A and B are shown apart, each in its own frame.
Chain A
């Protein structure tokens, strides 16, 4: 149980285009999902907290107009990188909390590698 999927697993796009990344909890419901960014050999950097049915909460320094988050259902959150630039190239990982559990654990997706040319 507790499987989180991400799609696509890797994407290459041209500078200026927008890219959408999907995060799904496959066998549980998640009122809260989290989006992280990870640079090579570095730890996870929290970008935003995605709450079902309400606006996402962004961390300091993360542009909400550039990284659009939509959490339309209890099993799906999307991150759209708008007008992508080469510096947005990174590994994006989502995680989700299981609504049915009382613990504070999060389950991570496999990540999406974004390369902006």
Chain B
């Protein structure tokens, strides 16, 4: 079993829809949770960063973390064709030199 599970998609939605992207994880030591967006042939771009449980909102994006269920989500409101990309969840147990543990990424397609 992978430490972080993420549905690879593709997930296809119409423009304006609310998108829900999710990851589950098994390591209860994870405390820092991130969402990255990666366009084709580009490096990942940090979208959201959350520490421990709770919600965080930034514009059209909302990140949720439920540590009791080991489940994190990213919601995109009013989705746009420019949101079409692969979304990677990432997490770590704490600050330091450790690398992040990534999900496999979910490919999102927003149809105009």
Contact = CB atoms under 8 A, between A and B. Distances in A.
A108 B36 contact: yes
Interface string A64-108: 000000000000000000000000000101010100001111111
B13 to A, nearest CB: 19
Contact of B103 (A43, A91, A111): A43
Size bracket, chain A contacts: 20 to 34
B41 A91 contact: yes
Given A31-B97, A32-B97, A44 B46 contact: no
B35 to A, nearest CB: 11
A103 B95 contact: yes
A51 interface: yes
Interface in B36-81: 36, 41-46, 49, 51
A93 B36 CA distance: 14
Interface of A: 2, 4, 6, 31-32, 34, 41-44, 46, 49, 51, 91, 93, 95, 97, 102-111, 113
